[in-house]
Structure 1
Amino acid sequence: MKRFSIIFLKAVLVLIGIVALLFLIIMPSKEGRATNLNLISIYTDPFILYGYATSIAFFVALYKAFKLLGYIGKNKIFSPNAVETLKSIKICAIVLSVFIMVAGLIIRFTHNKEDDPAGFLAICIVTTFASVVVATAAAIFEKLLQNVVDMKSENDLTI
């Protein structure tokens, strides 16, 4: 059962990554500020490029979560590598939340006066909150796992 759960969670992470990638590729031409732009102009728009740069932290965190599931599957969860992976996930979540907050502020202060940015700002608030929750959870798990790894290394030294 444990092996099936790990494989299922890895498949979910891959599916999330594929959906996010498709969203990043398809959505700029369908919605928002780039609906009237040609294909070249869409992917050279500074705000869309900023969105792509922001997504790097998201995909790195997905990769690190995939890697953490690998450690769990190999029963190496109580290792320094797992602690470092959780630390990376925490950092990625913090970076992602900061980038999303900056994007919200940019839109808030530079949007067209005829346009209503409320929907975009609501999405920014929700995703920033979600990123902060992930960063907090990763920090808590990192600290707990670090304590277990420290206790394990102390026990290994005394034996």
Structure 2
Amino acid sequence: MKSGSTLFLKLTIVLMGIPILALCIFLVPELGDLAAKLLPDFAYIKYLVFIIFYASAIPYYIALYQAFILLRHIDKNEAFSDLSVNALKKIKQCVISISTLHLLVLPLFYLFAEKDDAPGVIFIGLVVPFASMVIAVFAAVLQRLLKEAIDIKSENDLIV
């Protein structure tokens, strides 16, 4: 397959990394300061915000890298290989870890909602874990379908 056919997707993957980097540089320190101001009784909350959000950025970039690897396999006509299945498996694991980390932050969203008397804040906190779980289910389905396609292909290769 021509490498130009996945060029747009590769560019999209690179562009998906830029906003998260900007959020980590500019927004996470602000969120940590806001958490420290809203909850002065919990002095460690600022560092907890830093740890969780920065820790969730790591699997995000690993998943982007695995998606990039998956596109390289498609370019090399190796889409139906165990390497692609492994890349999907790693993407699924990364997305599950992102969802888990953001679920750990939900009590913080609850404390913000209690402090500001705004219950909608909790739903905002559920967006990332919910979206991550949708992506994880999609990756798991693709992984299973790809594995079944590889098995069918190997059976056909044995028959001929």
TM band (smaller chain): 0.7 to 0.9
Query: For residue 39 of structure 2, what is the aligned residue in structure 1?
Result: none
Identity level (%): 38
Query: For residue 47 of structure 1, what is the aligned residue in structure 2?
Result: 49
Shift of 1:32: 3.1
1:27 partnered with 2:27: yes
Counterparts of 1:125-144 in structure 2 under 5 Å?
125-144=126-145
TM score, norm. by length of structure 2: 0.81
Query: For residue 40 of structure 2, what is the aligned residue in structure 1?
Result: none
> Hey, what's the Cα distance between the residues in 2 that align with 1:112 and 1:132?
23
User: Contact 1:10–1:69 (CA<8 Å) still a contact in 2?
Assistant: yes
Shift of 1:147: 0.4
Counterparts of 1:1-150 in structure 2 under 5 Å?
3-29=3-29, 31-34=30-33, 45-108=47-110, 110-111=111-112, 114-116=115-117, 118=119, 120-150=121-151
Runs of 4+ aligned residues of structure 1 deviating over 6 Å after TM superposition are: none
The amino acid of 1:103's aligned partner reads: V
What stretches of structure 1 of length at least 5 have no aligned partner?
Answer: 38-43
Q: Considering only aligned residues, what root-mean-square deviation do their CA atoms show, in Å?
A: 2.5
> Hey, what's the Cα distance between the residues in 1 that align with 2:13 and 2:3?
15
Shift of 1:115: 3.5
The amino acid of 1:156's aligned partner reads: D
TM score, norm. by length of structure 1: 0.82
Change (3 A) 1:105 1:5: farther
The amino acid of 1:28's aligned partner reads: V
Change (3 A) 1:118 1:48: farther
What stretches of structure 2 of length at least 5 have no aligned partner?
Answer: 37-45
> Hey, what's the Cα distance between the residues in 1 that align with 2:120 and 2:20?
19
